[in-house]
Amino acid sequence: MSREDPRYAGSRWDKLARWRRGEYDPTAGRLELREPDFAPRDELQKLRKYAAQTERDDRYELGLDTRLRGFRRVYLAAAGLLAVFLAALLLVTVSWLPQFGDYTAPEHNEVARRYIEQGLEETGAVNIVAGMILDYRAFDTFGESCVLFIAVCCVLMLLRVDKEEDPHSMAAEDMSDRYFEPHREVILQMAARVLVPVSLVLGIYVVLNGHISPGGGFSGGAIIGTGLVLYLTAFGFERTGRFMNETTVKLLTVSALTFYCFAKSYSFYTGANHLSSFITPGVPGAILSGGLIVYLNICVGVVVACTMYCFYVMFRKGGF
Amino acid sequence: MSLVQNFPFFSIILSMFCAIVSFALSGKWAKRAHLAMTAAVLALSAGVLGFTAATGDSYTYMMGHYSAPWGNEIRIGPLESAMAVCFSLLMLLSVLGGLAHIDRDIAPSKQNLFFIQLDLMLSALLALIYTNDLFTAYVFIEICTIAACGLIMARRTGRVYVSATRYMIMSLVGSGLFLIGLSLLYAVTGQLLMSPAERALAGLVSDSRFTLPLTVIIILLVVSLGVKSGLYPFHTWIPDAYGYATPAASAVLSGLVSKGYILLLIKLMVRVLPNDNQAALNMMDVLFVLGVVGMLLGSVDAIRENDVRRMTAFSSVAQIGYIYMGLGLGTDAGVTAALFHVISHGAMKALLFLCIPGLTEVSGGRADREALRGAGYRHRLAGLGFTVGALSMIGMPLLTGFVSKYLFAAAATSAVPGKMIAAWVALAVSTTLNAVYFMRMVLVLYTSVDASHRRAEDYHASPVENAGIAGLIALNVALGVASPPVIETLARGLAVFG
């Protein structure tokens, strides 16, 4: 468009040129940046500093209690000394331990040898770690799943806002969450459309393939949980609640842990009483092999995903 | 393998399964499930106790198809089964005794979560009692720690959040040190099962390899469990944590949780760690000194306290000191006395913590001595229960506290002279201090007040709670009168424990 064109004045190019010359301000009247006029800046800073100081004094009463202030100094110094001492002690201790990869180290004994040499044959798991945690030492792993479970229970007890307990705060939480919830976050939603299916499928793959390749219930469940949290962030509670709500989380957690409990109880009982068990290792490398390991991995994955999702929901809103 | 030998495994799995199912139940049904489960665990443990007491030996039970050192394992003897019986019985009575308060203190929609914490707490304690595997012990220590935090903060008033946070920080320091100690232990032995680890450690001691790491391992494991059970300089979380939680939680926490860690420590000392090297002997002396200091200073703190709940909590510091003093004597008799005191203190402290809310509620909700004047007339059963618990704490004959003190004093005779004198003096002084604050409280409860203050208006004690308190009174008397079979079982169990 030439400058002689009558349509030039007021067009985008004209505005751009005038903005470059400093004659035009595109934000004028729409967006204003100015100093707050109620107090000059240094006054305001002084005020803030004073408020912070009084708050600190109020909390610890340090301004008034010189004994307490002295105690705090001594306490901090003692804590620092203790930490330095402990760190030095542990470093010196570690320097006594065998080097990494040393083949004469005590941990290269009959325990590790059997895991490595006979693990595949006995558990049917190509991934030796899966065989160790879900077959040789499955009781510990059941305990670990229960750690996650009890952590969820504690977070629910601490953060869940219940209707019968406090109807007002429930409504307030809901309001504030709706206010901050992105309704038309196009970038986030577009990214989520691409990433959520990928992370869910990857997570399911890592869980199902846990006995064949590196991975398993804990890592796969974490990936699935991340996918769910991303979906929730992008599309909000209303859409996510259709498939992930309190009932689903409860149902999934309870059934996964119950299955783990019964399956392993059967295995412990037959093992301890030297009974024959119908669970066989199967063909190593096949997707349905490794005895119970693949099913236990699914259970652990479900529990981990539900735990992550539940934590996010509780910390964000205190309800599903 | 006979069916009864499976019972320890059944009881652990049953309590975990009960917790899992309670997630989908309402508070009311979770409560019923918990009570039924605890009663079932009690019955199962009693069966195991009968079996092991008859054979007088311990056996190992594989958790899976792989024997030690490849798979998980639990080990059951007379001592373990006796402890399981006591712990499940105390859990049952404590929860019964605090049932009405659970209803009142915890929101209805969250009660099932509270019972989940109790279920998992019981399973973790059982696992700590039975396990023969170091890493299983760590996993269940974690469960125990989280469940304890949940139990403290379940009441959801301002103060308990602070207490739960303090408890969590101290307890996690303990867990962290324990995990580091365990990792070092694995690095020098390559074993996680207790018996193979002990053999490997004995080999290291005789070859004098890894001497410094061995010392550090002993320090870390003992100190971490000391922190978690409230040994003297690490006791600062106790008064808040026990003082403000709901009564059933206070009773369970003071009576059982810290005892679970102590039992694990005894198991490590007897079964895993080398006993005859210099580091272990020095550690014994340190435990003895800290125990004695705790006995005295815990009581001094209790005397200075005006709030009856916090006073009772400080008395726990002193009682934990008794247990560590017994361990520090370094003799089998000392360990037996400590084990008996684990049970005995559980019974006494649970009784006191369950009686206190009854007394404060008939005194306008206040817990200071001024308000509690004459409370023993207003709530007779709670007054009686507190008096029995207090007399037992002081060491009145025919009550369980007397037997503990007698056992400690008797155990001290076989220790080295320095420890013997110190233990006797500490027992005498500590008993006097106990008498000062507990008798003062009992006198306050039965101070004569005018007729209008002798009756509590519109207060109705719950019959279930009364049953729990009555059960604990009976337990205190029973342990005091019929202690010989208990002591004999513990001593025989200790002989096959290592």
pLDDT, one tens digit per residue, over A113-169 is 999 998 888 888 889 999 899 989 999 999 999 999 999 999 999 888 876 666 677
**pLDDT at residue B16 is higher than 90:** yes
- Interface contact flag, B150 A154, Cβ < 8 Å: yes
- Interface contact flag, B186 A142, Cβ < 8 Å: no
pLDDT digit string (tens) for B118-177?
999 999 999 999 999 999 999 999 999 999 999 999 988 878 888 899 999 999 999 999
- The 3-state DSSP class for residue B74 equals strand
pLDDT digit string (tens) for B388-415?
999 999 999 999 999 999 999 999 998 8
Assign residue A100 a region (left: φ > 0; alpha: ψ between -120 and 50; beta: otherwise). Answer: beta
- Interface contact flag, A109 B120, Cβ < 8 Å: no
- Interface contact flag, B190 A139, Cβ < 8 Å: no
Q: Is B167 on the interface with A (CB under 8 A)?
A: no
- Mean pLDDT of all residues in A216-245: 91
Question: pTM for the complete prediction?
Answer: 0.89
- The 3-state DSSP class for residue B73 equals strand
- Interface contact flag, A165 B109, Cβ < 8 Å: yes
- Interface contact flag, B24 A251, Cβ < 8 Å: yes
Higher pLDDT, B473 or A9: B473
Q: Which range, of A196-205, B218-227, B445-454, B470-479, averages the lowest pLDDT?
A: B445-454
* pLDDT confidence of residue A291: 84
Question: Which of A105, A135, A153 comes nearest B113 by C-beta?
Answer: A153
A interface test, pick of B9, B18, B66, B224 with most A CB neighbours within 10 Å: B66
Question: Which of B62, B190, B210 comes nearest A271 by C-beta?
Answer: B62
* pLDDT confidence of residue A164: 64
- Interface contact flag, A162 B107, Cβ < 8 Å: yes
Question: Which of B120, B150, B156 comes nearest A146 by C-beta?
Answer: B120
Q: Is B140 on the interface with A (CB under 8 A)?
A: yes
Cα B468 to Cα B462: distance, rounded to the nearest angstrom: 10
Residue-averaged pLDDT of chain A? 85
Cα A119 to Cα A135: distance, rounded to the nearest angstrom: 10
Closest by Cα among B207, B1, B133 to A111: B133
| Site of tokens 């030095």 | A88
* pLDDT confidence of residue A182: 60
Query: Do B170 and B219 meet the contact criterion of CB atoms below 8 Å apart?
Result: no
- Interface contact flag, A268 B216, Cβ < 8 Å: no
Percent of chain A with pLDDT strictly greater than 90: 39
Q: Which range, of A190-199, A229-238, B36-45, averages the lowest pLDDT?
A: A229-238
pLDDT digit string (tens) for B48-107?
999 999 998 999 999 888 888 898 999 999 999 999 999 999 999 999 999 988 998 898
Query: Do B34 and B95 meet the contact criterion of CB atoms below 8 Å apart?
Result: yes
* pLDDT confidence of residue A153: 94
Using an 8 Å CB-CB cutoff, list chain A residues near B108.
164
Closest by Cα among B297, B407, B288 to B345: B407
pLDDT digit string (tens) for B473-486?
999 999 999 999 99
* Alpha carbon of B10: minimum distance to chain A alpha carbons (Å): 9
Rounded to 5°, the CA angle B21-B27-B28 comes to 100
Closest by Cα among A254, A242, A259 to A153: A254
pLDDT-based confidence at residue A7 (cuts at 50, 70, 90)? confident
Domain regions of chain A by residue span:
41-84, 110-316
